[in-house]
Chains A and B, each alone.
Chain A
Amino acid sequence: MKLFLIVWVLLMPGAAWPGVIILGSVHGDAAGEIKRLLPLAGYLGRRLQSEGISQGKVVVAKSVSQMATYMREGKVDLYIDSPFPSLAVSRLSGSRFLLRRWKKGVAEYHSVIFVKKDSDLRRLEDLKGKTLAFERPSSSSGYFFPKIALLQEGLKLVPKTEPTEPVGPEEVGYVFSFSDENIMVWVLRGKVIAGSTDNERYREQARQRLDGLQIIYRTFSFPRHIVSHRADLPADVVAGVKEVLIKMDQSEEGRKVLREFERTTKFDELPGAASSQLLETRRFVDVEIGLR
């Protein structure tokens, strides 16, 4: 009951709370997400006292746009998510990337587009007139980056409601499977001609059928998760946060909190190359979020 009151309070944010560092997240399960992020928020609150911070709180938004609004209004100080939603929030609110998060030991990953080995498809162009499966619209590795790759190849992507829906010869149809496993099963069973997921899940889902699959395209590598901060967060606080997060894996307390936060390995500096490549995708992001 107490937890729900807290959630309710945090879900109804007003202005920024003085002395409080607020972590934001986009998720359908607000309570679960708060439970997941609250140790990290508390840790930050305790560690940022020198910056006038004495407390850490969590705010969960229902969508990227809502999160962008919260950050723009100063109701969320920090936002941790995969590259595509982080880019979208950044484009909508002006938030800035701060650090890279190693999630479950993975610092960065990339997307793959795969087909069955016994198919004739070997290039992205071969997908014309076919339908492939993405994971979900908010997925970085399962949708956004492979889609960018396809678009950059000059292919015309057309959304379909069913894999069996006809596709024009110059088009590439796509459907959302909403599951990496679905994508793998659909490709293996021929429901779709190709699928896209990240490199880790590809191996995970292919299992012993790996030999029967063929990757026809790999995207560039991008950070697993990105920590962003609102644009108007004071620089000392940003610096303080950066220092605390980067040093988290160096203390027992910090490692404990990291483990509790989805087995996060550590936070580190966002590599420069990765930042550049992410920035190059801005126009695609703008299209996706309707800014263009």
Chain B
Amino acid sequence: MKLSIRVKLIGFTFCLVLLVGGSIALYSVFQGRRQILTTFENDSRGVTALLAAAMANDLYFLDVRSLHRRLESARVNPDISYTYVMDLDGTVLADGTVENALRDQRLTDPFTRETLRADGWITRTEEKLLKIGGPILMPDGQHIGHLQLGFALQPAFQLVHDATGAILYLTVFCLAVGVVLAMMIATSFTRPLLSLMAALQEIRVGRLGTRLSVKRSDEFGVVGESINQMAEALQKDHEEITRVGESLRESEGRLRFLLETTNAIPWEADARSWRFTYVGPQAVNLLGYPLERWREEDFWRSHLHPDDREYAAEFCLKSSRSLKDYDFEYRMITADGRAVWIHDVVSVVSVNGEPETLRGFMVDITRRKQAEFEAARQRAEVAHIGRVSTAGELAASMAHELNQPLGAILSNAEAAEMFLNQEPPALGEVREILADIRKDDQRAGDVIHRMRALLRRHEMETELLDINGLAEEAVKLVYADAVLRRTELSVGLASGLPPVKGDRVHLQQVLLNLILNGMEAMATIPPGQRELVVRTEQGENGTVKIAVSDSGPGIPPDKLPKLFEPFFTTKKEGLGMGLSIARTIVEAHRGQIWAKSNSGVGATFYVTLPASKEHAA
């Protein structure tokens, strides 16, 4: 049962008044009864003692008549039921009645016997009588008799009864007054409280214009004023919120318009099932499926390009578990079977450390990807042209390098022929010669193989590469040329370098280009001073650095900024494409390439490539 605060307040006050009033009443009744009886007893003892003192002389002189009169006078007191004055043996001398009927009778009741033995005044309550007895003494203390008075307790009991009644009536009256006061107080308290509640309920249901009529200066007045101020503040806030809400709605509309009219397709999906819970309407145009299909279970995964499905799903799963935002690219298959490149930017919303929701934007990057592929293809073409050019540059040295094994093969063949013509043929010699011929052939084949690899059309294929091995291969390719150019070619390779991820052929092309450029740059200086050094070392910020230094005349400072621009050359026969291709290849590997003149002589070209965290195969 729900009780109102008014009823509770009245009940509480009533209980409190009842408890306090009742306790006080009970205590008063108890104390009053005790006080009345004690007072009655004390007064009775006082009367008895006074009477005894007054009777001492009469008793001493055995003036029974006076004793009788005194007791008779005492009995005028309606509270006194009987009076006995006795001698030392307990024989009554006077009983205060007209007849003095008990005179000369010896009393033997228990109280009288107790009285005769008592040194002082003793009392005993028997039924409705308070008996008081004690010795009558002369002023010198001589014990001459006894006095015994019986006081009717009825008046005292009546007084107790009256007092109790009065207290109870007073208590009931006080309780009644207390209840009335409680009701008044409760009403006084609850009326403003109810007003406050009513106002608060009005405010709660949105009637913010509600105001209390505050006429009090107490706490309720303060609360009422506070509620008014609160309502006013709420009203202002509500107006502000309304205004802001409208602004937000407008803003949201604009945002939604922007979101849903840009190429970036907003989406939201469950992090566990990857089921889209929201997809921007542009998605319809992306794959040609209606939005309802997008929200089907496993839509995203089932519409991934088969080649990307495993990668994209795994990447999404791992990245989401890391709870960090991420982005990745993959292909999806449209309704008409086309592949569409998607750049997906994903934000992970987590709950209790687990990915809960994924939100993001899908951007159709098919055109960009196509452009990138085209650029890569063109870059590969250019690189191939570069390599052909390089091969041309190396043709003489390679021819020279081929001459040596070919010459050896020829002379060995002639020698073998000579040994075969002997009788008996020197087959053992022939056999050794054939082995040498095979080695020379293999050497020539290696040269041709390297050349063919350089000249082959090639699209960029990435793999983990040992940059030192790459440098050594490049040096081998140009070694013969260096000999022809009378250039001292040396290599300084750092150990323990991490692998890089890249295309072997393209990166080799870059090194060959830098080495050949360096050797060409030294053409104008005396052969004894021509030195070219290829070094590898650990670069900064997780990179591997390759440096190609020559001892040539160096690069004028004004030409440094244009060095890597297409068609910029310092050579008479050069096309100015070599360094431009090198920069394209390096940047395609997310690396950097730059050049600077040495402090002494010559110049140094630097290439840095990001080190891979994977181990080389």
Q: Are B64's CB and A181's CB within 8 A?
A: yes
A249-260 vs B, Cβ < 8 Å mask (1 yes, 0 no): 000000000000
* B63 CB, nearest partner CB in chain A, Å: 6
Shortest CB-to-CB span from B128 to chain A, Å, is: 30
> Could you say which residues of chain B place their CB within 8 Å of the CB of A185?
62, 64, 93, 103-104
Which residues in B have their C-beta under 8 angstroms from that of A177? 63, 65
Chain B count of residues within 8 A CB distance of the other chain: 10
A182 is an interface residue with CB less than 8 A from chain B:
yes
Q: In chain A, residues 156-183, which have Cβ atoms closer than 8 Å to a Cβ of chain B?
A: 177-179, 181-182
Q: Is the CB of B65 within 8 A of A178?
A: yes
Query: B476-500, CB under 8 A of A: which get 1 and which 0?
Result: 0000000000000000000000000
Q: Tell whether A36 is near chain B: CB-to-CB under 8 Å.
A: no
Write out the residue numbers on chain A whose beta carbons fall within 8 Å of the beta carbon of B104. Answer: 185, 188, 207-209
The answer to whether A189 has its CB under 8 Å from any CB of chain B is: yes
A242 neighbours in B (Cβ, 8 Å): none
- Taking a contact as CB atoms under 8 Å apart, the answer to whether A186 and B100 are in contact is no
The minimal Cβ–Cβ distance linking B61 to chain A, given in whole angstroms, is: 9
**In the bound complex, CA of A251 to CA of B32 (Å):** 62
CB of A191 within 8 A of chain B?
yes
- Listed residue (B63, B68, B93) with the most chain A CB atoms within 10 angstroms of its CB: B63
B residues 82-134 with Cβ under 8 Å of A?
A: 87, 93, 100, 103-104
B62 A191 Cβ-Cβ under 8 A: yes
Report how far A188 CA is from B62 CA in the complex, Å: 11
Interface secondary structure of A, over-half rule: helix
Q: Which A residues from 182 to 211 make CB contacts under 8 A with B?
A: 182, 185-186, 188-189, 191, 207-209
Interface size on A, residues (CB 8 A): 13
Closest Cβ–Cβ distance, residue A3 to chain B (whole Å): 22
Q: Hey, which chain B residues are within 8 Å of A182, CB to CB?
A: 62-65
- The minimal Cβ–Cβ distance linking B549 to chain A, given in whole angstroms, is 159
Q: A181-B100, A207-B104, A208-B104 are in contact. Are A189 and B68 (CB under 8 A)?
A: no
B103 CB contacts on chain A under 8 angstroms: 181, 185, 207
Residues of A within 8 A of B64 (CB): 179, 181-182, 185
Chain A residues lying within 8 Å of B100, measured Cβ to Cβ, are: 181
Question: In the docked arrangement, what's the CA distance between A188 and B93, Å?
Answer: 11
Interface 1/0 per residue, B173-216 and A, CB below 8 Å: 00000000000000000000000000000000000000000000
Query: Chain B residues near A181 (CB, 8 Å)?
Result: 64-65, 68, 100, 103
Could you tell me the distance between the alpha carbons of A188 and B105 in the complex, rounded to whole angstroms?
13
Nearest chain A residue, comparing its CB with the CB of B87: A189
The distance from the CB of B142 to the nearest CB of chain A, in whole angstroms, is 15
CB distance from B65 to the nearest CB of A (A): 3
Tell me the chain B residues, 52-71 only, with Cβ under 8 Å from chain A: 62-65, 68
Query: Which interface residue of A181, A186, A188, A189 has the most chain B CB atoms within 10 A?
Result: A181
Which residues on the B side are within 8 Å of A188 (C-beta)? 104
Q: Are B62 and A179 in contact (CB under 8 A)?
A: no
A177 CA to B100 CA, complexed, in Å: 17
CA distance A207 to B103 in the complex (A): 9
Question: Please, which residues of chain B bring their CB within 8 A of the CB of A178?
Answer: 63, 65
**Which residues from A are CB-within-8-Å of B62?**
182, 185-186, 189, 191
Chain B residues with CB below 8 A from A186, complex form: 62
Instruction: State the Cβ distance, A270 to closest chain B Cβ, in Å.
Output: 32
Q: Roughly how many angstroms separate A189 CA and B380 CA in the complex, as a whole number?
A: 166
Q: What 0/1 readout, one digit per residue, does chain A (100-132) give for beta carbons within 8 Å of chain B?
A: 000000000000000000000000000000000
* Bound complex: CA A185 to CA B102 (Å): 13
Name the CB-closest residue of B to A209: B104
Q: Which chain A positions have C-beta within 8 A of B63? A: 177-179, 182
Closest to A179 in B: B65
Q: How far is the CA of A269 from the CA of B546 in the complex (A)?
A: 184
Residue in B closest to A192 when the chains form the complex, CB atoms: B62
Q: Which residues of A contact B87 (CB under 8 A)?
A: 189
- Cα-based distance from A30 to B104 in the complex (angstroms): 34
Residue ID in chain B nearest A186 by CB atoms: B62
Whole-angstrom distance between the Cβ of B88 and the nearest chain A Cβ:
11
Which B residues are in CB contact (< 8 Å) with A209?
104
Minimum CB–CB distance for B162 against chain A, Å = 36
Residues in B whose Cβ lies below 8 Å from that of A208: 104
Give the residue name and chain of the A residue nearest to B104 (CB): A209
CB of A5 to closest CB in B, whole Å: 28
Within the complex, the shortest CB–CB distance from A203 to chain B, in Å, comes to 14
- Within A204-249, the residues touching B (CB, 8 Å) are 207-209
Cβ contacts B447-480/A at 8 Å (1 or 0 each): 0000000000000000000000000000000000
Q: Would you give the shortest CB distance from A41 to chain B, in whole angstroms?
A: 28
CB B83 to nearest CB in A, in angstroms, measures 16
Chain A nearest CB from B64 CB (Å) reads 5
Rounded to whole angstroms, the CA-CA distance of A209 and B93 in the bound complex is 14
Please report the C-alpha to C-alpha distance between residue A122 and residue B100 in the assembled complex, in whole angstroms.
30
Task: Give Cα A33–Cα B533 distance, bound, in whole angstroms.
Answer: 172
- Report A261-276 CB contacts with B as 1/0, cut-off 8 Å: 0000000000000000
Q: How far is the CB of B89 from chain A (nearest CB, A)?
A: 11
CA of A212 to CA of B93, assembled, Å? 17
In the bound complex, residues from chain A placing their C-beta under 8 Å from that of B93 are 185
A182 to B68 CA separation, bound complex (whole angstroms): 10
Give A290 to B174 CA distance when docked, in angstroms.
79
**Given the complex of chains A and B, what is the CA–CA distance between A178 and B65 in angstroms?**
8
Distance between Cα atoms of A177 and B61 in the complex (Å):
10
- Give Cα A191–Cα B93 distance, bound, in whole angstroms: 14
Residue of B nearest to A178 (CB): B65
Determine the distance from Cα of A189 to Cα of B63 in the docked complex, in whole angstroms. 12
Measured between C-beta atoms, what is the minimum distance from A181 to chain B in Å? 5
Question: What is the distance, in angstroms, from B59's C-beta to the closest C-beta of chain A?
Answer: 11
Whole-angstrom distance from the CB of A147 to the nearest CB of chain B? 20
Closest to A180 in B: B65
How distant is A138 from chain B, measured CB to nearest CB, in Å? 15
- Per the bound structure, the CA–CA distance linking A188 and B87 in Å amounts to 13
Could you tell me the distance in whole angstroms from the C-beta of B482 to the nearest C-beta in chain A?
A: 171
Which of B65, B68, B87, B93 lies at the interface centre, i.e. has the most chain A CB atoms within 10 A of its CB? B65
Q: How far is the CB of B67 from chain A (nearest CB, A)?
A: 9
* Complex CA–CA separation, A17 to B63 (angstroms): 44
Complex CA distance for A182 and B93, rounded to whole angstroms:
10
Top 4 A-B residue pairs of the complex, sorted by shortest distance between their CB atoms: A179-B65, A185-B64, A181-B64, A182-B64
Q: Give the interface of A toward B (CB within 8 A).
A: 177-179, 181-182, 185-186, 188-189, 191, 207-209
8 examples of A-B residue contacts, CB within 8 angstroms = A178-B65, A179-B63, A185-B64, A185-B93, A185-B103, A188-B104, A207-B104, A209-B104
Q: A182-B63, A185-B103 are in contact. List 9 more A-B contacts (CB 8 A).
A: A177-B63, A177-B65, A179-B63, A179-B64, A181-B64, A181-B100, A181-B103, A182-B65, A208-B104
